[in-house]
A and B are shown apart, each in its own frame.
Chain A
Amino acid sequence: MSGLTKSSIARKVVMALSGLFLVLFLGQHFTINITSVIAPDTFNEWSHFMGYNPLVQYLLQPILIAGVVVHFVMGFVLEIQNNKARVIKYVKYNGGANAPWVSRNMIISGAVILAFLALHFYDFWVHEMTYKYIESNPEDPTRYYAETVEKFEPVWRTVLYVISFVLLALHLLHGFASSFQSMGVNNKYTPGIKKFARIYAIAIPLGFAIIAIYHHFNPITH
């Protein structure tokens, strides 16, 4: 990690690359999730593939976890360093005059997302690990849909998820386009990239939120 944090620009690029990777992952995650609303069988099929394919499990999953860890650790490191760069704060600071709230408060949106991730891991990942490796249950390619829908039965979880998705949207609103700037991309395509990033930043979390709400209001009747 020390090599990566040596220079400010390297740190930026690490944030950008890990962030972009997570953005891509969000897209993939969303694609699978949306099938739970439109085609439960496909959802089961894909989920099972993701859960048992060795390439996914032993290569992509660790990479994803590493990406998440790097992004968060680096985010906190940057925040601490940046705080140190201004020891005495302004008595009056009008940050809103020159930069949007979202760009100035990535640490807040990021921290909320981190808290959400803990819940989310507990809800799904820990459950999976327990199911597969601790209890050593047999493979069941049809269980995923029901398990997912069941999770959204309680109002509190649905609300927490939706709030987190809002924060995720805010985080992406700045982070997605910003990662291009960090990697040195600022040219005639930038307005297009920014527009796409904005749409993506709103559409994906909104989609996630819709899925959660949909399942909450459409429980499986036993």
Chain B
Amino acid sequence: MKLNLKIWRQKDANTKGQIKEYPIDGIDGDMSFLEMMDVLNEDLIAKGEEPVEFDHDCREGICGSCSLQINGEPHGPDRMVTTCQLHMRKFKDNDTIVIEPFRAKAFPVIKDLIVDRTAFDRIQQAGGYISVNTSGHTVDANAIPINKEDADDSFYAAACIGCGACVAACKNASAMLFTSAKVSQYALLPQGRIEAVERVQNMVRQMDLEGFGNCTNTGACEVECPKGISLENIARMNREYLSAKVKG
């Protein structure tokens, strides 16, 4: 397969970037998108050029490192996959593929396709935890039965990998899906209810401070989320937030 790649190149955070074209040949449908990028980089290195830098690590769709905007969509045209799980069989011979970093004011570019997503960490640090000591001296794990449906919903929210596709897809670069997933995970569990009032306020405050946009319920985040995190979580967070504000 022959492709025409248009890739965002940017030397560092302070330099202006631009799109550069790279024709590439010999791409196999069984390759993952990142393996295609590997082939390109090996070519570039052989030619004495600098390879394209992009975040990646586990290459099995769980670490949340990879973060490419491919033809205008985070993680490309396939659904329920990260970039590393996207396979080249989804493209046709002679396709042009535009590859950009995830764009948001809160995700500044570090180099080429690598962005800084520490804003997500700071949102979690603001309250994405249950304040129990890790001594292990707590009640028995089965002391508090949890309704299976709530436990499952909590799991589905907790399945978020923090890749930032929701922000990248959102026309407003809003981080509501990410934040609400964490808020929901704990809100659905009896252990998490205890700090629910402070948690949601603190996390939302931090989210706003980071400069993410406002949610306008377009639903793009849910469609592009590689883990299928549901919009219901955003509704739950809104609910939690309102009730927290009412309770003071």
Contact = CB atoms under 8 A, between A and B. Distances in A.
- Complex contact flag A–B (Cβ < 8 Å): yes
B216 A7 contact: no
A12 B212 contact: no
Interface string A177-196: 01001111110000000000
Contacts of B232: 186
A82 interface: yes
A7 B204 contact: yes
A98 interface: yes
A202 interface: no
B101 to A, nearest CB: 9
A94 B105 contact: no
B213 A86 contact: yes
A12 B214 contact: yes
Given A85-B105, A98-B169, A184-B235, A92 B211 contact: no
Give the residue among B204, B213, B216 with the most A Cβ atoms within 10 A.
Answer: B216
Contact of A85 (B98, B212, B219, B231): B212
A185 B231 CA distance: 11
Interface residues of B, number: 48
Contacts of A84: 105, 211, 213
A82 B171 contact: yes
Given A90-B72, A181-B234, A98 B223 contact: yes
A174 B217 contact: yes
B36 interface: no
Interface stretch (A21-29, A99-107, A113-121, A213-221): A99-107
A133 interface: no
Given A86-B105, A94-B73, A103 B216 contact: yes
Contact of B72 (A86, A93, A184): A93
A187 to B, nearest CB: 8
B72 A183 contact: no
Interface in B45-75: 69, 71-73
A198 B78 CA distance: 29
A89 interface: yes
Given A8-B214, A91-B8, A186-B232, A86 B103 contact: yes
Nearest to B74: A98
Given A98-B73, A184-B235, 11 more contacts: A8-B204, A82-B213, A82-B216, A84-B213, A85-B104, A85-B213, A86-B105, A90-B103, A91-B19, A92-B71, A99-B219
Interface of A: 7-13, 78, 81-82, 84-95, 97-100, 103-104, 106, 174, 178, 181-186
9 contacts: A9-B204, A10-B245, A81-B213, A82-B172, A86-B105, A90-B72, A99-B220, A100-B218, A181-B231
